[in-house]
Amino acid sequence: MSSGFSYPQPTFQSSIYNPSFYLSLDSSGYLTYDYAQTLYLSNDDYRMGYLSGVIAGTASYSKALILDSSGNISGINSFEASTITGTLQTGSQPNITSLGSLSGLTIGGNLSFSGSSRSISITDT
């Protein structure tokens, strides 16, 4: 995709600016939009596989997490966040063992208890 514009090299000199880098981009000495686009990797770029140890869709120790083409990542041992929002996508969640205070609870079926503690308290506020 071309914007139709080419941008001239900067005219200032500094300790971090290397004019020879820009002069080597093309024969005219300009950094063009088309060439600038080749300097960056998108999250689905085939060159992402060249990064050592990064496999799309698979978690690895001390590496970036990159989604696979379906938006999934596998192999995460644990995950911690201060806030997670959304709706659980499966009915059974055996690893959720406690909740904080709820402002409301709707039960569409039977309420059952298991274990040694089988008490319920209803408080009208």
Per-residue pLDDT tens for 72-103? 888 888 878 888 887 777 777 777 777 788 88
Residue 16, domain extent:
6-37
Task: Please list, residue by residue across 72-98, b when 16 or more beta carbons sit within 10 angstroms of its beta carbon and e when fewer do.
Answer: eeeeeeeeeeeeeeeeeeeeeeeeeee
Which pLDDT belongs to residue 3?
Answer: 56
Residue 52 lies in a domain: no
Q: Cβ(54)–Cβ(63) under 8 Å?
A: yes
User: Is residue 19 situated within a structural domain?
Assistant: yes
Determine, yes or no, domain membership for 77: no
Amino acid at 83: T
Residue 30 lies in a domain: yes
pLDDT at res. 19: 54
Q: Considering its fold, how many domains does the chain have in total?
A: 1
How far apart are alpha carbons 99 and 75 in whole angstroms? 25
Residue 104, pLDDT score = 83
Question: Is 26 among the domain residues?
Answer: yes
Cβ pair 115, 97 in contact under 8 A:
no
42/48 Cα distance (integer angstroms)? 8
Amino acid at 87: T
Q: Is residue 41 within 8 Å of 47, Cβ to Cβ?
A: yes
The answer to whether residue 31 is domain-embedded is yes
pLDDT in single tens digits along all 125 residues of the chain:
555 656 555 555 555 555 555 545 666 666 667 766 666 667 667 666 566 677 778 888 777 788 888 888 888 888 788 888 877 777 777 777 777 888 888 888 898 877 787 777 777 76
Q: Note whether residue 107 is domain-resident.
A: no
